[in-house]
Amino acid sequence: AKAAGRNTLRFFDPSMQAIVTARAALNADLRLGLQQSQFQLYYQPQVDGEGRPTGAEALLRWQHPQRGMVAPIEFIPAVEESGLIIPLGHWVLETACTQLKAWAAREETANLNLAVNVSPRQFRQPDFVERVLAMLERIGADPRKLKLELTETLLLDNVEQTIEKMAALKARGVGFSLDDFGTGYCSLSYLKHLPICQLKIDRTFVKDILSNPSDAAITKVILTLAQSMGLTAIAEGVETEAQRDFLANQGCVAYQGYLFGRPMPLAEFEQFLMRTTTP
């Protein structure tokens, strides 16, 4: 009883205690999951104005023996906080680059791009640039087919260093897409200094684009902004023809969303490609 309070934290709120215990169990599970290859990448098609696939976004899935299929929203925050995002993010990049290399070998898939989400903590690792370049080299994947999706959160500190790292990767051909654009804190004055090639219009704007004039206006601004800065823009979360037509009328020529295809396992994605590219 004497030692209590020294090395142990006391929780007076039992629900808080429950949360901490659950988080610890999740972390242990995640560590084991990484060792036991319980993670896989799903591929969600990205299409052009004619609906032709131009590539995919790689999205992480966790197939847990008891928990079942766990969505990233349920484990990415824990993985970020614990630092496990470093090995896990590395695995994601490695898997994505290996896939790009495999696609490059076949004519029908040779032009596909792959977008990969990179968390701020992962990007901030001092050796991030070197590791990515070494990986591309070792695997023999074309850097020009790799697109890293970064969020505006990344720019909250160390902007100069961030730009330097992005520029080093860009010099080798790696592209950057600014994910969830418009939902964060990115000031427009930063934007012009960022070596990005794409703005990604967040799903929250696309969702109510037909009924909410503000969302329609924001979308329009993003599309115009991208165009005038020489960037491409891609709309995410496009679920209906009406949303797609509305976006097309505003000049959008790149889409991602359930209307075109859900995130799917590799084999299914390759079948999807066969269906959509053969006449």
Q: Give the residues lining the site for Ca ion (CB under 5 A).
A: 117, 149, 179-180, 202-203, 236
Smallest separation, CB 236 to Ca ion (Å)? 5
Please compute, for residue 57, the number of CA atoms within 13 A of its CA located in the half-sphere on the CB side.
28
Residue 219 binding target from Ca ion, ligand C2E, none, CB below 5 to 8 Å by type: none
**CA gap 183, 201 in Å, rounded:** 9
Distance CA 261, CA 239 (A): 9
For the bound state, the minimum distance from the C-beta of residue 69 to ligand C2E, rounded and expressed in Å, comes to 11
Q: CB of 194: closest distance to Ca ion in angstroms?
A: 16
Residues that bind ligand C2E (CB under 6 A): 44, 59-60, 71-73, 76, 89, 92, 117, 119, 179-180, 203, 236-239, 256-258, 263
Residue whose CB is less far from Ca ion, 58 or 97: 58
How many beta carbons lie within 10 A of that of residue 133, not counting itself? 16
Q: Which is nearer to ligand C2E, 88 or 136 (CB)?
A: 88
- Cα–Cα distance between 106 and 184 in angstroms, integer? 39
C-beta of 14 vs 81, nearer to ligand C2E? 81
Q: Using the minimum distance from each CB to ligand C2E, give the nearer residue, 44 or 219.
A: 44
47 forms bridges with which residues in the sheet? 53, 255
Residue 77 C-beta: closest distance to Ca ion, Å: 14
* Residue that the structure tokens 């205690």 belong to: 17
215 binds, among Ca ion, ligand C2E, none (CB under 5 to 8 A by kind): none
Q: Are strands 254-256 and 68-70 parallel, antiparallel or unpaired?
A: unpaired
d(CA 163, CA 28): 35
What is the chain's alpha carbon radius of gyration, rounded to the nearest angstrom?
A: 20
Element holding 167 (H helix, E strand): helix 159-170
Closest CB 237 distance from ligand C2E, rounded Å: 4
- Let me know: does 64 contact 29? Beta carbons within 8 Å: yes
Question: Residue 119 or 162: which CB sits closer to ligand C2E?
Answer: 119
